[in-house]
Structure 1
Amino acid sequence: MARTEARVSRSLHELLTAHRLTPAQRRIASYLADHAADAAALTSAELAEYAQVSQPSVTRFVALLGFDGYAGFRRYLRDAAALPQPEAGGTKFQDAIDADLRNLTALRAQLADDTRLRTIAAGLMESRPLVVAGYRVSAAQAASFAYLATKIHPDVRLLTDSGSVFGDSLRHADRCGARTLVVVALPRYPRESAAALEQARSLGLRTLLITDRPVSALTPYADDVLSAAVASEFVFDSHAAVVSLTVALVEAMADAAGALARQRLEGFEDYAAEQDLFLPE
């Protein structure tokens, strides 16, 4: 039981340190830190009673952490308790992988209810063209998401220029029928990301922010936010959970597209075979 308590407490600590909590939320966090393993069995009303806060405070607390509902948060606690105990005295590289595993566990719990992810994905499929942007370290993840989305979406436009060049391209996409801008923004957040979101809003486009936390300096600029934590054990962050989130989003887009996605995927496979694009496995 002590090992389980320590494991869940550490996982919660990683999740909580990414957020600025109100006094009521600190009371909840304090109770969870002391009773982490038992909390998975509590209802939201019971947790509110034990932490001596209101039930709406628990609801807001769970939403702040990125969960769509209390049931998803309970699943996160149960999954954290089931994680294998890392070996004592591991290397710093093992510790970093452990951090990625905790982030993936938190993401898994969030996606237990995939309704919101699927709703967002369906909206992305309706935006033609679909515009994707990312700057600095986020540019690579934006490019990866755009590359995969192109396989199932008829018109994906990746924009990595900023300033007036970005504005020109965004306005052109808007005139062509774009409805949504997707911005990938991971720490440290470039100012260009905020500017891109603001420009999209000024044109009436809907904005989706893919980032590392549900509340940050960038989230007020976005209509929708999808988040997965990054691990900061190394000199540079690991984005393993963010990669999983973006791949899950593309999968949900494919589900929304239905037969259109299958046709596009089959068409690409035919083209790849004709052009001999890939080495044999």
Structure 2
Amino acid sequence: MIAGTDFHAIAERIEAVAQDITPAEQKVARELTTSGMLAGFETVAALAGRAGVSGPTVVRFIARLGFLSYTDFQKVLLREMEARSTSPLSLYHRAEARPGTLLRESAAAFSACVTETFRRLSVADFELAVAALSDPRNRILITGGRFTKLHAEMLYLHLFQMRSNVSTLLPGLQSRADQLLEVGPRSVLVAYDFRRYEAETVDVVRRAKERGATVIVITDPWNSPAARYAHAVLSAEVESLSPFDSMVPACALTEALIAELTVRAGRKGRERIQDLEILREGYEWHEEVKPRGRRKKAG
């Protein structure tokens, strides 16, 4: 790989060159992204056949991504795929390696991950997400997985205070697929999906896209398969000192969305929050209760 190449994932590299490649190379890019990069493990000839292009076109496209050879590309892709499927058990050595030192190291580690998240963040995708979520004509649905539903619920609780027509899309009395019944072109789906990606979340995103919804996927640097259906992809770092992926950068990214959406909500958002504050005061008992007079003792 060319030294100094600064993209974290192959999907990011493809996105970075998308505006500069030829129509034939776009076909190769499409085959890679729509297959979740699995097509990249095939031979040059096989990938070229899938894309309907020549072998040299595939090789040129791979070179545009910053790789010296197709073999080099496949080695990096393999490492990336392994990282995407990493489990807490396989990372358990992190906590065992430095007992007693993690508290001191945590501040620097989390700060670095948050900084890297915002450095790599696509400003265009962030703006698209904010525009879609702040449009009062849109219906907002927010979903997440086993752990990331915490982010989904946090975003929902804040958006609910600013605007109407917002709800979570989480398992309950109805499946998440059933809850897509009224989704259409005026719907916006925000989906959180991080590595060890959930097939159900990917399927919900795909179905929402097919029904005309605007889809925003918040994921890790390796990109959930759901990202291939997204109009905007916001990536957050996950590196941590424990065996478990850090939720801190994704939380910071969610808070950045909330901050911008608060500003966009303007006067109407403020008035809605004021109404909520009135409701939250509860009701006060105003009836005056007069003390009973003491009975006089019988003389």
**Given the two structures, how large is their TM-score scaled by the length of structure 2?**
0.57
Alignment-mate amino acid for residue 143 of structure 2: A
Between Structure 1 and Structure 2, how many residues are aligned? 199
Structure 2: unaligned runs, 5 residues or longer:
14-63, 67-98, 285-299
User: Is residue 241 from structure 1 mapped to residue 249 from structure 2 by the alignment?
Assistant: yes
User: In 2, Cα distance between the equivalents of 1:270 and 1:260?
Assistant: 15
- Summarize the Cα distance change of 1:275–1:145 in structure 2 as closer, same or farther, 3 Å threshold: farther
Q: Secondary structure at the match of 1:194?
A: helix
User: Is residue 253 from structure 1 mapped to residue 243 from structure 2 by the alignment?
Assistant: no
Check whether the contact 2:114–2:249 (CA below 8 A) recurs between aligned residues.
yes
Between the aligned residues of both structures, percent identity stands at: 23
- Summarize the Cα distance change of 1:247–1:188 in structure 2 as closer, same or farther, 3 Å threshold: same
**Given the two structures, how large is their TM-score scaled by the length of structure 1?**
0.60
Equivalent residue, structure 2, for 1:179:
187
Alignment-mate amino acid for residue 221 of structure 1: Y
Q: How does 1:183-222 map to 2 (within 5 A)?
A: 183-213=191-221, 215-222=223-230
Q: Secondary structure at the match of 1:209?
A: strand
What displacement does 1:267 show?
1.7
Q: How does 1:1-281 map to 2 (within 5 A)?
A: 19-20=9-10, 91-110=101-120, 116-126=125-135, 128-161=138-171, 165-174=175-184, 178-213=186-221, 215-274=223-282
Alignment-mate amino acid for residue 204 of structure 2: A
What displacement does 1:20 show?
4.4
Check whether the contact 2:195–2:220 (CA below 8 A) recurs between aligned residues.
yes
User: In 2, Cα distance between the equivalents of 1:244 and 1:154?
Assistant: 24
Check whether the contact 2:11–2:223 (CA below 8 A) recurs between aligned residues.
no
Check whether the contact 2:220–2:235 (CA below 8 A) recurs between aligned residues.
yes
Check whether the contact 2:194–2:224 (CA below 8 A) recurs between aligned residues.
no
- Summarize the Cα distance change of 1:219–1:259 in structure 2 as closer, same or farther, 3 Å threshold: same
- Could you list the per-position Cα deviations for residues 9-63 of structure 1 after superposition, in whole angstroms to 9, with x for gaps in the alignment? xxx99x86x534999xxxxxxxxxxxxxxxxxxxxxxxxxxxxxxxx869xxxxx
User: In 2, Cα distance between the equivalents of 1:151 and 1:123?
Assistant: 17
- Could you list the per-position Cα deviations for residues 59-82 of structure 1 after superposition, in whole angstroms to 9, with x for gaps in the alignment? xxxxxxxxxxxxxxxxxxxxxxxx
Check whether the contact 2:193–2:224 (CA below 8 A) recurs between aligned residues.
no
Check whether the contact 1:121–1:250 (CA below 8 A) recurs between aligned residues.
no
Q: Secondary structure at the match of 1:166?
A: coil
- Summarize the Cα distance change of 1:275–1:107 in structure 2 as closer, same or farther, 3 Å threshold: farther
Q: Secondary structure at the match of 1:165?
A: coil
Check whether the contact 2:159–2:258 (CA below 8 A) recurs between aligned residues.
yes
Q: Which of 255-264 and 116-125 deviates more? A: 116-125
Q: Which of 196-205 and 224-233 deviates more? A: 224-233
RMSD: 3.4
Check whether the contact 2:238–2:249 (CA below 8 A) recurs between aligned residues.
yes
What displacement does 1:96 show?
3.6
Equivalent residue, structure 2, for 1:53:
none
Structure 1: unaligned runs, 5 residues or longer:
1-11, 24-55, 59-88, 277-281
- Summarize the Cα distance change of 1:251–1:118 in structure 2 as closer, same or farther, 3 Å threshold: farther
Structure of greater Rg: 2
Answer 1 or 2: which has greater helix percent: 1
Alignment-mate amino acid for residue 206 of structure 2: E
